Chain A
Amino acid sequence: MLRRPLLLFLLLAGCSKGPEADLSYISGARSLAAEWALVNEQASQGHLTDAYVRTMRKAVRQQLQTNATSLSDPNTAYAQEIAALLREPDDARPAELRAHASKLKQIEDSLESS
């Protein structure tokens, strides 16, 4: 009985594309930038082990790369912001990384409101 509406719903949900479909990747990238900043901040205070810092940075980069390649259009402002984030060195200053996070947040908010 519920099969048809559910299938229709899944079909419609699957059809969404463009900036709307990219929103989850943008918010994911925003959080990844914040996680990276937190790792670098705590590392600079000597709170973390070398292995943890190295592997977390690598995991963040890989995940960011996945988000970047999943975007529907690589020429958008948010795609360029994620690319800029990926160009940051591993030991980038937390403030710089948070600036990227905050730019992504602004883009995310404007996409949501439009």
Chain B
Amino acid sequence: MNAADERSSTHEIKILRDLYEEMGSEEKIIRSIKVGLLSLRATSLERENADLIKRTGDLEKYIAELPHEIARFQQLLEKALKDRKTLEKLLDKKR
């Protein structure tokens, strides 16, 4: 989009002539556009909020699972460290 296009798109709206005539006045058109855009924005915000709530719920679900996973790895780690000591002891004795 070049500067001229951008200028025209931000300072004026093109509307089909028959629709313009049907609407009757520019004020009514502007008001309808505003209400239309506001309801679009409200719908979009509702969706964004629902999406954020869903993502928060997913994270809470993972958060509930992680402590069990950490405990499982800690248990395995403790066993592995104990095995290391035994292995080192067995290898040391043979030297």
Do A and B interact? no
Q: Which residues of B contact A (CB under 8 A)?
A: none
Q: Which residues of A contact B (CB under 8 A)?
A: none
